[in-house]
Structure 1
């Protein structure tokens, strides 16, 4: 079978509860994640209008003056605004970036109550979202979209379990109160790489799974196992899905974390809303039983979300390092 083409997986029969659809779809998923590391999903149940409404809010946010956006500058919980060229992908195993990425982004995580124990304890990555003033409806639209995406993730992890020959409910407990992040990104137009400048340099995600909303403006490319870079086509209403470094750790490298990059050569502005999902912050991430054995020991130590993300962001997010320095002064 071809591994230079991103597979398309129809979630419709599985989501409708058709007999046998869970395992049939899981088999397609396993092929995608062991051979190319990316796939499209169609008939996923997310209304087109909800996706379009979220894109509209992202455009509204980035249309604000930079000074207003900087009032919400990204914090140590990784919520808030990352200004243009605010991160450099130094940890990439594909191409160590030396130039900051040509994009700006606004990050939100799970909406937390002010009296939540993690908020009161100022626990890392469990802080409250900060929302812009003067954009009525922004918060409500974004929170609703995040809730919709989380619900889809909770259905999809059952496919991942079966794709790994595990009980369908294997990931239900790990993904209860799961960690997630919505990255609302703006890429200005560029003519192409100038030395090593990208909208987003070649990298692998950190997540268990990433869902990238359907986008009419192309820009995403992925690197196949042969080393060839291919452009992801724009398929109407289809999400692009991929795994990241946490998925590799869960599966002992059985499933791929495929390198990808973004370059906006469209001649206009490009917006993207990837949704990154991981297990509960307190769940130990270790290779699942079906991926280890006497001749195949675990390749990674047991990992916790917070420890891994602190290391990753310290290396890659210049704007957070600036915040740390200012806090220490």
Structure 2
């Protein structure tokens, strides 16, 4: 099935070859108008760091439950969400499903306690919670998040090229991207489990960009625009990238937000480390000018990250994400 998902090779871009960015833009345009996912290779991200992040996820979830519950999921979309702790609703496909058969921990940019946004109590700008007894875990998580942010920012000009915009068109909107690193554990599901039992129910992400390191344990499937579900292949040395509802809204529905799902009937424990990247907190997103035409007039008024995430908040995480500040949600 790998031939159904385009592969973007960053090597010519990293070498500075003339025309490389525009050629990648053409490939990305096809990816997001025909499939909604693409692979990217030759990213410069060390494979050792990827494997260290997978190992860190396994270490975290191997802790006693009480140690994980000491980091409760909160209104900033940070912390630990227990097994079957959420139900896919707001961005679900084909209606509400049963609670998802996974557990996950979420981290955002590691702001210091004295940061003005922390002191002001800005929603989605809270302090990360870290495990008390996992030496080296925080360092690996932050190193991996930094590598993914760097990769995401390298990819953003390709999106501009794909949309017929100046290559730097998105730069001021991604000066300090909002992001979430989610470390997920999918326990083995019994082969006899009901058909509507999902590790992660069919859904579309909320993000501008989701970067997923390749997993040696299968389980991810995507739904192509023609309605077919295909199992996503795991290509060594690649990352799988997709867009979510933020990208779809920003591009005035020109780009896809393709549904996907996870079922772990592999007979093994499965871990995933998706990285969700969005625009800067205060960036204003109006429909991309090249995506507004007489046949496709602007569908949305300008919006910010806070407004967008608030609209999607609450439905999937329920009371676990509620506080005086509200509820957070990040596509998974």
The match for 1:31 is: 30
Distance 2:158 2:52 in 1: 28
The match for 2:57 is: 58
Compared CA separation, residues 30 and 203, structure 1 to 2 (3 A): same
SS for the counterpart of 1:279 is: strand
Compared CA separation, residues 195 and 266, structure 1 to 2 (3 A): closer
Cα deviation per residue 1:264-289 (whole Å; 9 max; x = unaligned)? 11101000000000001111122111
Residue correspondence of structure 1 range 315-326 to structure 2 within 5 A: 315-321=315-321
How far apart are residue 225 of structure 1 and its match?
Answer: 0.8
How far apart are residue 296 of structure 1 and its match?
Answer: 2.4
The match for 2:273 is: 273
Q: List alignment gaps of at least 5 residues for structure 1.
A: none
Is contact 1:97-1:196 (8 Å) kept? no
How far apart are residue 306 of structure 1 and its match?
Answer: 1.6
Residue correspondence of structure 1 range 148-167 to structure 2 within 5 A: 148-167=147-166
Distance 1:73 1:93 in 2: 24
How far apart are residue 308 of structure 1 and its match?
Answer: 2.4
Is contact 2:2-2:233 (8 Å) kept? no
Distance 2:223 2:51 in 1: 28
How far apart are residue 234 of structure 1 and its match?
Answer: 1.0
The match for 2:330 is: none
Q: List alignment gaps of at least 5 residues for structure 2.
A: 328-332
SS for the counterpart of 1:39 is: strand
1:292 equivalenced with 2:292 (yes/no): yes
1:170 equivalenced with 2:169 (yes/no): yes
1:127 equivalenced with 2:126 (yes/no): yes
Is contact 1:213-1:274 (8 Å) kept? yes
Cα deviation per residue 1:211-254 (whole Å; 9 max; x = unaligned)? 00121111110000110000001111111100000001111111
TM-score (norm 2): 0.94
Is contact 1:4-1:230 (8 Å) kept? no
The alignment covers a number of residue pairs equal to 325
TM-score (norm 1): 0.95
The match for 2:139 is: 140
Cα deviation per residue 1:24-58 (whole Å; 9 max; x = unaligned)? 11111110111000011111111100000111111
Distance 2:221 2:3 in 1: 12
Distance 1:223 1:296 in 2: 24
Is contact 1:87-1:319 (8 Å) kept? no
Distance 1:159 1:37 in 2: 15
Is contact 1:42-1:237 (8 Å) kept? yes
Compared CA separation, residues 289 and 211, structure 1 to 2 (3 A): same
Residue correspondence of structure 1 range 253-264 to structure 2 within 5 A: 253-264=253-264
Compared CA separation, residues 217 and 319, structure 1 to 2 (3 A): farther
How far apart are residue 297 of structure 1 and its match?
Answer: 1.3
How far apart are residue 90 of structure 1 and its match?
Answer: 1.2
Distance 2:35 2:7 in 1: 12
How far apart are residue 3 of structure 1 and its match?
Answer: 11
Compared CA separation, residues 319 and 70, structure 1 to 2 (3 A): farther
Distance 2:298 2:92 in 1: 20
Distance 2:5 2:43 in 1: 17
SS for the counterpart of 2:280 is: coil
Compared CA separation, residues 22 and 282, structure 1 to 2 (3 A): same
How far apart are residue 94 of structure 1 and its match?
Answer: 1.7
